[in-house]
Amino acid sequence: MEENKKVLVVDDEQGVLDLMAEVLPGLGCEVLLARDGEKALQLFQAERPPLVITDLKMPKIDGLTLIRAIKEASPRAEILIITGHANLESAIQAVRLGAFDYFLKPFNLEALGRRVNQALERHRLVSEKEALLKELDQRVQARTAALVESQRRLRAVFNEIRDSLVIVDQTFTIVVANEGATALSGTPVETLIGRKCYRELFGREEICEGCPILEGFATGRAASSSMLRRNPDGSYRYMEVSGYPRAEEGGRPTEVIEHIRDVTKKIHQARHLHNAEKLAVVGRLAAGVTHELGNALAIIGGSAQFLLRYPGDRRQASREFLEIILRNVEAADNTIRELMNFARPRDPLLGPMDVTESLDRACLLLRGEFAQHGVEVVQQYAPALPRIQGDSEQLQKVFLNLLLNAVQAMEEGGTITIRAVFDPPEWVRVELMDTGRGISQEHLERIFDPFFTTRERGTGLGLSIVHRHVEAHRGRLTVESQEGRGTRFTVFFPATTPEQVQAGVG
């Protein structure tokens, strides 16, 4: 900023004006002269000098009136008073009006020069300060406007995201929510604030099992999990939930951003694709099934022809070949029946039932198999298990298949543990654990595929049918296994509320 060193001198004595015109340029000042207050005011308005040196007693407009006018036009202007007619009252009044200093005529030029420099320096500093404050204010206004615009855009983006986005504190209370959360919960954004996320977004009365938000607070790292959300009509939606912790620098997380994505459609599409792949597998393996049936029929036909043409005593030969025929007829019939069950499954006839009844019936039917193979069965049922909506006949087949697999995995005997418990608030969980040879990781990924089997005379349809029956009950089936340490199959069934049982929901 270029320094302004103009000085306006106002005095009705020409000698004073001449003196100032000689002295002030030596201080680097540009001098403006006026013999009365009226002329001085015109010069000030035209030139805006930073310093005015004025007498108090002048014609037309006196010094005090001039001071008032100058300060009103430019509050930063500095004013020095020089007068030969001073009194205490006028001095006090001049200072109150904003005069920088007061000199009596005759005055000391050296002292006046120092005060002129000080007044001009103060004006410069104040001007620079005001300029800096103005620039700072402009920057603050610009940053504020940019921040407001950024927040507006962020809020717009936040609300445009169709997925549910909320920020929760350490008590799982929602502090920020978007329109996606409203769509998921059916509750307006302003009403969601201050409520528990697990209650509003998942309809639960306690923190969700496997909640990634809980993990985020505990570890300070992002976490994700898949969760089920029950709809009012009893159906389920598959949700992918991710939590992103937010923390002050160097501190533990104080909030977590919760992202909830509805992946129900994707899951259904994946299942549809999986089913299509199964059908493709059926097509690819039809030749193999035909081969199996062809082998059985060839053996049966050959045995029959041998009996018809046998020249000697047929009694012993007939028995042996009839047993061969019978075994192969049973093998062919078993293959055909499993194909029929897989190709044309019936819909389950759902009704309230106790899942342990199907477990007990399956164990009773396999009692001979257990004894023959040296298998001990341990049953652990939690008391007062909720009922489920199920088809007892289909679930009996599910448990028969799983238990038979367990028996066949323990050639030298072992233990099968059957556990049934309640996972609040919505699942009845059934676990079947054996101490058999286990399943390799390579095979574990394919055990539910149609026609996949590791048994010499197996069809590979049993577990595919089990998986289909469990899905038809709106349940989930998982498997864990380690070679040499056994296998655990876990089946989850939606629990039936007492109200549903009373109403006979099926």
Domain locations along the chain: 6-132, 161-262, 267-343, 351-503
The residue behind tokens 């099926």 is 506
Interatomic CA distance for residues 49 and 18, integer angstroms: 19
Interatomic CA distance for residues 21 and 354, integer angstroms: 114
pLDDT at 459: 53
Interatomic CA distance for residues 485 and 408, integer angstroms: 15
For domain 161-262, give the CATH number. Answer: 3.30.450.20
Amino acid symbol at 442: E
Helix 392-408 with 462-472: angle, nearest 10 deg? 140
Interatomic CA distance for residues 266 and 285, integer angstroms: 28
pLDDT at 506: 38
Q: Quick check: 111 and 93 in contact, CB under 8 A?
A: no
Vertex 109, ends 103 and 111: CA angle to 5°?
A: 65
pLDDT at 269: 79
pLDDT at 434: 93
Interatomic CA distance for residues 73 and 290, integer angstroms: 108
CATH number belonging to the domain at 267-343, selected among 1.20.144, 1.10.3470, 3.30.70, 1.10.287 = 1.10.287
Q: Checking DSSP bridges between strand 236-247 and strand 223-230, what pairing results, if any?
A: antiparallel
pLDDT at 502: 46
Amino acid symbol at 265: K
What global pTM score does this model have? Answer: 0.39
- Six token digits for residue 481: 């296994």
pLDDT at 360: 92
Instruction: Work out the widest C-alpha separation in the chain, in whole angstroms.
Output: 165
Superfamily of domain 351-503: Histidine kinase-like ATPase, C-terminal domain (3.30.565.10)
Nearest partner of 362 among 401, 391, 406, judged by Cα: 401
- Domain 6-132 in CATH 2.60.410.10? The answer is no
Vertex 272, ends 267 and 275: CA angle to 5°?
A: 125
pLDDT at 343: 52
Q: Quick check: 333 and 327 in contact, CB under 8 A?
A: no
- Cβ-in-10-Å burial (0-12, 13-18, 19+) of 330 comes to exposed
Vertex 185, ends 260 and 236: CA angle to 5°?
A: 70
pLDDT in tens, the chain (506 residues): 567 889 999 998 898 899 989 989 988 999 999 998 889 999 999 999 999 998 888 888 888 888 889 988 888 899 988 877 656 677 777 778 888 887 877 878 888 889 899 988 888 888 888 888 888 988 888 888 877 777 677 676 667 778 888 899 999 999 888 888 888 888 888 889 999 998 888 888 888 888 888 888 888 888 888 888 877 766 778 888 998 998 766 678 889 989 888 888 887 777 777 666 666 655 555 545 555 566 566 566 666 666 666 655 555 556 666 666 666 676 666 666 655 555 555 677 889 999 999 999 889 888 888 888 899 999 999 998 999 999 988 898 889 889 988 998 888 889 999 999 998 888 999 999 999 988 877 777 667 666 556 555 555 566 777 888 888 888 998 888 888 889 999 999 999 865 544 444 43
Q: Quick check: 43 and 32 in contact, CB under 8 A?
A: yes
* Rg of the chain taking only CA atoms, in angstroms: 48
Tell me the HSE value of 382 on the side-chain side, using a 13 A CA sphere.
15
